[in-house]
Amino acid sequence: MPTIAKNNSYQTVITTFEMTPGTAQDLMDALTDAYEQFISKQPGFIAAGLHINDAQTRIANYSQWERREDYQAMLRSDEMRARNRKINEMCKSFEPVMYDVQATFG
């Protein structure tokens, strides 16, 4: 499970995908497969979650990694580069952004 805390040293990555309702399930299936078969098995992977909006026009992905370099190595792998090319064909855009937790509430 992801741990959201200001005092952790994890690298947080939030990726947003924009697509049409007609491709939403295909994209969710591709992302789920990528996590189950490849991403979750990479060094430094901690946890991730996939979220979809009611209109099925956006997917948000939250992932945590031990180090920034672990995430970058996964992205640069031949396997993920091939998967990202297919993912890119299913959506209008996607953007991974690295974040640091600044505050938590609750």
Looking up residue 52, the CATH number of its domain turns out to be: 3.30.70.100
Model confidence pTM above 0.85: yes
- % pLDDT > 90, the chain: 84
pLDDT in tens, 70-98: 999 999 999 999 999 999 999 999 999 99
- Specify the higher pLDDT residue, 106 or 23: 23
- In angstroms, the CA 59 to CA 18 distance is 7
Q: Note down the domain range covering 80.
A: 11-99
Q: How many domains does the chain have?
A: 1
Cα→Cα distances 36→21, 39, 58, 93, 103, Å? 23, 7, 21, 22, 30
- In angstroms, the CA 78 to CA 100 distance is 27
Is 1 inside a domain boundary? Answer: no
| 69: pLDDT strictly greater than 80 | yes
